Structure 1
Amino acid sequence: MHPNAHHFLPCFHCHPHAHVRTIQHLIERCLLLHMSRDECVKALARHANIRPLITLTVWKELQKENTEFFRAYLRTIPRKPFLAKFRRSVPTITRRRQRHWR
């Protein structure tokens, strides 16, 4: 049995086109979840064991083929969603602490 037989990705060396199509499909799922490119790269590395360079390469090719879609998509997602949420909550936390310590 092949050591990666349990893995759901087709073998890159045996079936390169199927491998790339699977990564494209996973990137499309990330897009449906409104993930940024970096979030997608991290998610595929963590959950699908796909090297970041491969995900970035497929992402760039998809972006070339669908320029208008990606232009519109990248305008709709927050650039730094975690930081934006954190920055909004900091003044509230500070005010609560000030009231508590008085």
Structure 2
Amino acid sequence: MFFCHNNCRHVVPCLHCHPHSYIRMVQHLIERCLLLHMNQQQCVKALAQYASIRPCITITVWRELEKENRDFFRAYVHAASSYRPFMGRYIQRKPSFRRRKHYWKH
């Protein structure tokens, strides 16, 4: 449970009260999308729909991850484009973004 300066209680980190924890949570969710071979657009849509993360935040965190890991993302885009015909059935399944406490520690 996260407590804000206004005595608000949050089950997940609040962007305004706990920005570092919130960004780490979004980063973790993006990494889960990458494991499901999603591109940026699919990831933004999934996080908005299933985790209520605003698209501008997902895009910003995604871009920062790309800056920090250029080689990984270059290889990821190349691999994702070559697997695209085979991954269609996996991408269509509903992603599960259950939130756990250990995602927000640090």
TM-score of the superposition, structure 1-length normalised?
0.70
> What's the offset of the Cα at 1:14?
1.0
Aligned partner of 1:48 in structure 2 is 51
Greater relative contact order structure (CA < 8 Å, 6+ sep): 2
**Could you list the per-position Cα deviations for residues 2-40 of structure 1 after superposition, in whole angstroms to 9, with x for gaps in the alignment?**
4x73xx530111110000000000000000000011000
Q: For 1:25-81, what per-residue CA distance to the aligned partner results, in whole angstroms no more than 9, with x for missing partners?
A: 0000000000011000000000000110100000000000000000000111138x5
Structure 1: runs of 5+ lacking an equivalent: 86-102
Residue identity in the other structure for 1:39: Q
For these two proteins, the number of residue pairs brought into alignment is: 79
Say whether residues 1:66 and 2:72 are aligned partners.
no
User: What does 1:1-102 align with in structure 2 at a 5 Å threshold?
Assistant: 2=8, 5=10, 8-78=11-81, 81=84
Q: CA RMSD in A?
A: 2.1
Q: Identity of aligned pairs, percent?
A: 57
- Per the normalisation by structure 2, the TM-score is 0.67
Q: Which has the higher helix share?
A: 1
| Pair member with larger Rg | 1
